Amino acid sequence: MIQVQGLIKRAGKNEILHGINLEVAAQSVLGIIGASGSGKTTLLRCLNGLERIDGGSIECDGVRLEAGLTSSAYHERVRALRRKVGTVFQHLYLFPHLTVLGNLIEAPVHVLRVPRKQAEAEAYELLAAVGLKQAARRYPESLSGGEQQRVAIARALAMHPGLLLFDEPTSALDPRRSAELRTLFRGFVPRGHTMVIVSHSISFLAGLADNLLYMEGGEVVEYGKTDTVLNSPRDPRTKDFVAQAK
């Protein structure tokens, strides 16, 4: 589904990501773990084109981003990429001036030009799937944190992305809500979604991710099957991090 090769990202003179390589198979779940400042959120922002890469390449479902592209070609490909990638931000960024339904149909109606009736019907299905059908006509402000997050997820799903990116999805949830979210996520894979989840919470990823990637200082330290990374990591730094997190 997505291949990243030698990805380099700089901020001014500082190199933030030093040649990242990773590959995510279709309909699999990749968890990215690491301490704050390890570069995992930056990596995620590169994957949906919010950050322009300075070296290497990203290839996602036939769309290829390279560092050497001209500005206009890069932007064109980023727009193509975004049709395939859905993002749920840590701070969600729901549109406060629109109802829940409005948040969901905004992009399908204005970007994909889906007829409003059809977009609304789909939106109701998605809301039913995340258990928020009754909230369709409400405004995001009036919802709880967990409900808002499910709206954000439904909003991303409304564009039918193959790849879903999540940045710290459990940061604002209590353990019970986290467990519910994991159940919800498990349902996405059989429906054809591929997921990349950045999270602090190893326990959240443990029963969900097929593979884990441990980042430190802008580099991939460890990358492998979830079981292997958690129980018999090769690198002592991974071992330390996992031990502390548990």
Burial class, 17, CB count within 10 angstroms (exposed 0-12 / middle 13-18 / buried 19+): buried
Shortest Å distance, C-beta 101 to other proteins: 12
What count of other Cβ atoms lies within 10 Å of the Cβ of residue 148?
21
Which positions ≥6 away from 190 have C-beta within 8 Å? 27
- The residue (of 21 and 142) whose beta carbon lies closer to other proteins is 142
* Structure tokens that stand for 43 in this block: 């990596």
Shortest Å distance, C-beta 93 to other proteins: 4
Beta bridge pairs of residue 242: none
Cα separation, 212 vs 220, whole angstroms? 11
Shortest Å distance, C-beta 163 to other proteins: 12
Shortest Å distance, C-beta 214 to other proteins: 26
CA separation, residue 180 to residues 150, 189, 190 (Å)? 11, 16, 17
- The residue (of 3 and 134) whose beta carbon lies closer to other proteins is 134
- The residue (of 94 and 213) whose beta carbon lies closer to other proteins is 94
* Structure tokens that stand for 184 in this block: 């919800």
- The residue (of 128 and 245) whose beta carbon lies closer to other proteins is 128
Shortest Å distance, C-beta 7 to other proteins: 19
Q: Give the residues lining the site for other proteins (CB under 8 A).
A: 48-50, 79, 82-83, 85-87, 89, 91-97, 99, 106-107, 110-112, 134-135, 137-139, 141-142, 155-156, 159
- The residue (of 13 and 137) whose beta carbon lies closer to other proteins is 137
- The residue (of 119 and 221) whose beta carbon lies closer to other proteins is 119
Shortest Å distance, C-beta 89 to other proteins: 6
Which positions ≥6 away from 1 have C-beta within 8 Å? 24, 25, 26, 27, 28, 60, 61, 162, 163, 194
CB 32, CB 83: distance < 8 Å? no
* Structure tokens that stand for 126 in this block: 């998605």
